[in-house]
Structure 1
Amino acid sequence: MKRLLPILLFSIMANAQNKTDFLTTYEKGNGNQTATYEETIAYFQLLDKNFETISMEEMGLTDSGEPLHIVTFNPDKKFDFKKIQKEKAVLLINNGIHPGEPDGIDATMMLFRDLALGKIKVPKNLVIVNIPIYNIGGALNRNSFSRANQNGPESYGFRGNARNYDLNRDFLKSDTRNARSFAQIFHKVNPDVFVDNHVSNGANYQYTFTYIATHPQKIGGNLGKFWDTEMIPTLLSDLKKKNIESVPYVNIHDEKPDGGFDAFMDYPRYSTGFASMFNTVGSMPETHMLKDYASRVKVTYEYMVATIEFTDKNYTKIKNLRSENLQNYLPNKKYTLLWELDESKVSSIPFLGFEGDYKTSDISGKSRLFYDEKKPFSKVIPYHKEFKSSLEVVIPEAYVIPKSWWNVIELLKINNIEMTPLEKDTEFAVESYRIGDFKTSKSAYEGHYPHSSVNMTTTKKKVSFKKGDFVIKTQQAGVKYLLETLEPQANDSYFAWNFFDSVLQQKEYFSAYVFEDLAKKILDENQRMKAEFEQKKADDKTFSDSGEAQLDWIYSHSEYYEKTHMEYPVYRIMK
């Protein structure tokens, strides 16, 4: 008995220590507190130290100067992702992209602890990877007031990163070190499923949990159908069994949702839109900002648990569908660059809301919206989910990019795009774009003045390329990334984000007093051009009244005009 007593005492002390050592900042608080960046990293370091199933790894830098981390849970205690991808599925969880929305940070700390301790079912066929806090600069910029519409926690981080970028608009253009390091993480772990935890803003309703699921039409093929008709419904059903009601992200802000709302199309600038370019199905839990913090953390935790359980059961199917989906994007097939809502197709969904009305504002004396939480309702409302293609492109066999566009080439390489440098000067028959009309934003948006509504002409010609220029075949895992970035009319193309603006500026000009005589000589020697010129003067009075416009027309139609002006410097080789 005397010999057993010290052992029993040690066991009791160890159990007591386990119960306290692994409590998170959130659990130690009053249900309305979230961990700081330092506390979050220290907690995962503690888990790494105490559990062989958890590994913490330092990754690339962020704009804050601090590195990103990934924390991996694998019950097999192996962390070589090349081997993992052959044997298991991978779930990547991203937290703190908007550190004022910290629900996922605290929920994931508890999730990893509970997995390590076996408090929840441990997956056999799934490895879980977590970026503890993606926007480190925003997390370090802690305050209690920047989320004026949000009910807790007591203090939190800021939406903008260390350089004031919204990181959930930066995944494709990658202006930040955060985005570039994220891309390296993403391609290292190659996730089959992706979750990016958020908090919503907008209308008031009864739900604590709403969600954005990558639009199935953007995922495409049987993978998109599986995501839409099997995976998402099962996840939501699992939540409902735990008395957690859910609804798609309510994309309504200054009006009542009673009349219905539209599905959110997640373009490549957003995290789930970025993931879908590599055939990864993704979701953004959007807990409701007016619900108390403890309730929001709980539903975020339960959604991740549901995702783990489903992916573990269906890992083979998900991985096979991802691989098969590439067959939908072969050369000569069509790809949708731009989508628009199909107003002719309306579905309906049950909705749990609060009665909304308008009353006189105490501030302005004008009409203002308010919700009466004493008057909940349940009704069926319209929901626009279907989109239709508004612009398609034929997928080329390859793109050719001159080596001079190193800024673009660098981003392609970061995203695992395979490319081959020419071994010698080579001439190719290509399709070439010449930029015509386009619109440019009048105000800055995430460090840019983006272009839209791009019109252009396509010509077929032979172009000579230099040794070291890059040929990029489209038959590779990143084919959708290539189409979304290199086709100038795409919503988030590199052209849209100003990467090629230098070709929009003319570099050489003429002095009218010198060019007058040369212009006459050009017309005299080219009767077809002269006839077209005279016809334009006859048809266009503004043109005929402007000597400057006439000289400019002759210049731009002559061999003296620089060929690089408005010529898009990415070329298409067709099959």
Structure 2
Amino acid sequence: MHKSVDFQTPFENSNGNETPTYLQVIDFYIQLAKEFPEINIQTIGETDSGYPLNLVTYNPDGNFNFSKIAEEKAIMLINNGIHPGESDGIDATMLFFRDLAAGKLPTPKKTVVATIPVYNVGGALNRNKASRTNQNGPVSYGFRGNAQNYDLNRDFIKADTKNARTFSEIFHTIDPDVFIDNHVSNGADYQYTLTHLFTQHNKLGGRLGEYLNTEMMPELESGLSENNWDITPYVNVFNRVPESGFSQFMDHPRYSTGYTALWNTLGMMVETHMLKPYKKRVEGTYTLMAKMLGIVEKDVQKIKNLRKHAGTRHVDWTYYPVKWAIDTTQTTKFNFKGFEGTMITSEVTGMSRLKYDRSKPFEKEVVYQNYFIPSDSIKIPEAYIVKKGWHKVLELLKVNEIQFNTLEKDSVIAVESYKIDSYETMSNAYEGHYPHYNTSVTSKIQEINFTKGDILVPTDQPGIRYVLETLEPEAVDSFFNWNYFDTILQQKEGFSPYVFEDEALEMLRNDPQLKEAFEAKKTGEEDFAQNWYAQLDWLFKRSEHYETAHLQYPVYRILKQK
């Protein structure tokens, strides 16, 4: 038994009104590790702030070699402070680790708990008292943007930040079975302090997704309810009342749980309600983590077996979904505890505004749309070939432990080749980018000359979902949609009209089919018929001068042999 040590936190000493600074958090865990051999703290990698990320681990056996731990135990990873103004998890996890080490909570025999105490270090250092406009405490807190003003919960795929790359290193070192990311919500008003946002179960897929939806989630809900901590699915509505119904949030791979799902980790975000007192929000987060640890401890073997099976299920896949839509044929109904909301005239704008009345609580049945179906899929190739000049792509494949080879000699290979057919681009900046969306491609089979050093990425590997989500341009969070390949969208060589006019005329004289198509386009499209430059450009793009690199996607697909 350890001697009794009073590791009181700033949260406790302030009666639940304050959260510690970044340096106070790290010092707390350093002191905890000195006192308890069950606790280990280490620094891993870099962040944009100049400080490293810290990983704190609790294992009653005192073994902190994750490759050994994973053979016998489940691993639960808790991420805190991705948005440091949402500090509930930072405080709750400090209490949670202290109480596990001190024996105030049941000692797990089959589960190891790890945490990133503060993920957004730069944001935590940028402390203020006003940026969380709608939040009820704590007194002061960190800022949402990191040291480069990135929202880190949009950065897991594009990995613009050192934080995201270090997270990938930690994640692949630990290979957690369960992942919890602690947040605070914005949006509607209701009675709950706790809401959950599990990774979308259809997207997670298979028996693993079914377990998440039909066993883990209901057990967490009922366990919390038994302790008078009601919880609801994340209320995904803004500026309307929740009882009108709402849908599950789709966590694409840009988000933490969307990213971890690519490696079959059972993930959830905790979203405490911004308007509830800070003390209550921290206590609720603490209770939820304790309940989840109990579920993992009970279901260790089931979870590990399901993840093992999920890691090989791709051998039976032919197609992979790259886009999802709500399945309107299936819904879930549950009793929701809310407050009456009405539209009243705003004294500020004179227009209608939503007003909740907390003196009028209710419990009503709501319709929750938490089933999704693929809206677009691609046929899975045997491998991709990435031209060697795309260095950032190669770097991220390495960071995410994607297996690949390099061509040892120049080779002519039959591949499926994509041309970017159409896309739309956001008009406003979003997380350092102007992302594309609604991307579509045309494809054809070609024999392409590849050169020594080009990258061959097989799909039959543990990271298959990461490979497909990033290299298929039509996928929502593809590298193409995040602007990695924007240089192919700009034509580099053009023509002088007065010179090309003569050649264009010769092309039409010598190619009856081209002339027929040209005349048909002029007849059918008035704008084209009235635009002399568009006509010459159309012909130029069908000449030998038009560069093959324009709109040519530089990632090629080697199709599976039938």
Q: TM-score, normalised by structure 1?
A: 0.95
Q: Which moved more, 1:94-103 or 1:553-562?
A: 553-562
- Report the AA paired with residue 36 of structure 2: F
Residue 344 of structure 1: aligned partner: 329
Task: Name which of structure 1's ranges 240-249 and 533-542 shifts more when overlaid on structure 2.
Answer: 533-542
Aligned pair partner of 2:188 in 196, 203, 218: 203
Displacement of 1:126 after TM fit? Answer: 1.2
Q: Deviations over 1:492-545 (max 9, x none)?
A: 111111111000000000111211222223333333323322333333333333
Preserved contact between residue 330 and residue 474 of structure 1 (Cα < 8 Å): no
Rounded to whole Å, the distance in 1 between the matches of 2:519 and 2:130 is 66
Which secondary structure state, in structure 2, belongs to the residue aligned with residue 183 of structure 1?
helix
* Separation of aligned partners in 2, 1:351 and 1:48: 42
Q: 1:140 is matched by which residue type in structure 2?
A: L
Matches within 5 A, 1:284-433: 284-330=269-315, 333-433=318-418
Offset at residue 345 of structure 1 (A): 2.7
- In the TM superposition, residue 131 of structure 1 has moved relative to its aligned partner by 0.1
Cα deviation for residue 376 of structure 1 reads 0.8
- The correspondence of residues 14-163 of structure 1 with structure 2, limited to 5 A, is 18-20=4-6, 22-163=7-148
Q: Distance in 1 between matches of 2:220 and 2:352?
A: 40
The one-character-per-residue Cα deviations of 1:198-240 (angstroms, maximum 9, x if unpaired) are 1111111110110100010111100000111011111111111
User: What is the identity, as a one-letter code, of the residue corresponding to 2:526?
Assistant: K
Q: Considering only aligned residues, what root-mean-square deviation do their CA atoms show, in Å?
A: 1.5
Q: Could you say which residue in structure 1 is the equivalent of 2:171?
A: 186
Tell me the SS of whatever aligns to 2:548: coil
Q: What's the CA shift for 1:289?
A: 0.7
Q: Which residue of 1 aligns with 2:518?
A: 533
1:52 & 1:117 partners in 2: Cα distance?
A: 11
Q: Give 3-state SS (helix, strand or coil) of 2:186's partner.
A: coil
Offset of 1:331 from its aligned partner? Answer: 7.2
Can you list the C-alpha shifts for 1:334-392, whole angstroms capped at 9, x where unaligned?
Answer: 11111111233332111001111122323223322111111111111111111221111
Counterparts of 1:433-452 in structure 2, within 5 Å, are 433-452=418-437
d(CA) in 1 for partners of 2:204, 2:33: 35
For the 8 Å contact 2:321–2:378, the answer to whether it is kept is: yes
Equivalent position of 2:257 in the other structure: 272
AA aligned to 1:203 is A
> CA–CA distance in 1 between the matches of 2:509 and 2:490?
29
Q: 1:449 to 1:331 in 2, by over 3 A?
A: farther
1:47-94 deviations in Å (ceiling 9; x for gaps): 111111111110111111111000011111111111112221111100
Q: Which residue of structure 2 lines up, in the alignment, with residue 239 of structure 1?
A: 224
Q: Distance in 2 between matches of 1:255 and 1:536?
A: 48
Q: Distance in 2 between matches of 1:114 and 1:267?
A: 34
User: What do residues 176-204 of structure 1 show as CA deviations (whole Å, max 9, x unaligned)?
Assistant: 11111111111111111000001111111
Which secondary structure does the structure 2 equivalent of 1:254 belong to?
A: coil
Partner of 1:3: none
Question: 1:132: how far off?
Answer: 0.4
Aligned residue for 2:483? 498
Provide closer, same or farther for how the CA distance between residues 526 and 330 of structure 1 changes in structure 2, counting only shifts above 3 A: farther
In 2, Cα distance between the equivalents of 1:237 and 1:445?
39
Give the secondary structure class of the aligned counterpart of 1:437: strand
1:332 CA displacement? 5.7
Counterpart of 1:291, as a letter, is K
Once the two structures are superposed, what CA deviation does each residue of 1:439-498 show, in whole Å capped at 9, x if it has no partner? 110101111111011121111111111111111001111111111111111111111111
Q: Note if contact 2:190-2:337 (Cα within 8 Å) is conserved in structure 1.
A: yes
Letter in 1 for 2:22: Y
Question: 1:455 is paired with a residue of what secondary structure?
Answer: strand
Residues 526, 94 of structure 1: alpha-carbon distance in 2 compared, 3 angstrom cutoff: same
**Aligned-pair CA distance for 1:31:** 1.2
1:269-298 CA-to-partner distances (Å, cap 9, x unmatched) read 110000001110100111111111111111
1:173 is the counterpart of 2:165: no
Partner of 2:471: 486
Amino acid at match of 1:78: N
Structure 2 SS opposite 1:93: strand
Separation in 2, partners of 1:315, 1:465: 47
Q: What number of residue pairs does the alignment pair up?
A: 560
| Residue matched to 2:507 | 522
**C-alpha distance in structure 1 between counterparts of 2:418 and 2:344, whole Å:** 54
- Residue 537 of structure 2 is matched in structure 1 by 552
Asked if structure 1 preserves the Cα contact closer than 8 Å seen for 2:15 and 2:279, the reply is no
Closer, same or farther: CA 542–366 of 1 in aligned 2, 3 Å? closer
- Kindly indicate whether the alpha-carbon contact (under 8 Å) linking 1:135 and 1:178 is maintained by their aligned counterparts in 2: yes
Distance 1:332 1:460, change over 3 A: farther
Query: What stretches of structure 1 move > 4 A for 4+ residues in a row?
Result: none
SS across alignment from 1:130: strand
Decide which of 174, 183, 208 is 1:223's aligned counterpart.
208
Cα distance in 1 between the residues matched to 2:422 and 2:401: 33
Distance 1:155 1:356 in 2: 30
CA distance in 2, matches of 1:92, 1:397: 33
Check conservation: 2:43, 2:52, Cα contact below 8 A: yes
List gaps (5 residues or longer) in structure 2: none
TM-score (norm 2): 0.97
The residue type paired with residue 539 of structure 1 is: G
Identity of aligned residues (%): 52
1:137 touches 1:161 (CA, 8 Å); kept in 2?
yes
2:457 matches 1:468: no
Match of 1:261 in 2: 246
The residue type equivalent to 1:117 in the other structure is: A
Decide whether the 8 Å contact of 1:331 with 1:396 is kept in 2.
no
Residues 93 and 130, structure 1, Cα contact 8 Å, conserved in 2? yes
* Partner amino acid, structure 2, of 1:263: Q
